Amino acid sequence: MATPTPLQLTLVEVGAAAVFGVLSLGAGAALLYDAARRIRFRRRARDEFVRVDATVVDSAVHEPATGGPEAVPNVEYEYAVDGETYTSRSIWPTRSRSPDRVDRRVARRIVEDYPVDAEVIARYDPADPETVYLIDQFDRTGERVELVVGSALVVGFLGLVVLLVGIV
């Protein structure tokens, strides 16, 4: 009976694995960093932002030209801080100044809840009054996906390193 020969990799295969591993590590680290940044920002917004009276000046659902199940809720509102008036379209506690696409039903419900001329409560960052939002509830699915995919990429990189070290 013949003894099995150890698996041998060519230099090209090792190089390709190394490039793939480095790209996986970079992408995974970037996703984990972005998710952590979003979570920290939302916690800070919840704990430190100040309530302010605001008035809705425009409210409409923007349907994408390509169709699909998603739409953009556009709720523009004005508020005053220390005598200066600001205008915003930010709906959720995110760094983005304009809303993302959401399910069409959710977009319609938001616009119905914030009609033109409605007096509402917004929350602004005392260090930067232009950073503001209307709705505390926010779907955390995007952050969860970033955490899962980022973790999988980093673990995949570590598994590749262990595999290559064991082979080489």
| Domain membership flag for residue 73 | yes
Q: How many other CB atoms are there within 10 angstroms of residue 112's CB atom?
A: 11
> Tokens 């009276």, residue?
53
Q: Domain limits at 126?
A: 49-137
Q: Residue 57 — very low, low, confident or very high, per pLDDT cuts 50/70/90?
A: very high
* Phi and psi torsions of 74, nearest 5°: -110, 105
Q: Which two tokens stand for residue 24?
A: 């996986």
Q: Residue 145 — very low, low, confident or very high, per pLDDT cuts 50/70/90?
A: confident
| Domain membership flag for residue 148 | no
| Domain membership flag for residue 154 | no
| Domain membership flag for residue 151 | no
Per-residue pLDDT of 21-49, as tens digits, reads 889 999 999 999 988 888 888 888 888 99
| Domain membership flag for residue 112 | yes
Residue 77, strand partner residues: 56, 88
d(Cα 42, Cα 48) in Å, to the nearest integer?
A: 10
Q: Which two tokens stand for residue 57?
A: 């000046």
pLDDT > 90 in the chain, percent: 40
User: Pick the residue with more confidence: 74 or 42?
Assistant: 74
Cβ contact 61:107 at 8 Å: yes
Per-residue pLDDT of 106-140, as tens digits, reads 889 999 999 999 999 999 999 999 999 998 766 66
Structural domain count, the chain: 1
Within 13 Å, how many C-alpha atoms sit on residue 128's CB side? 9
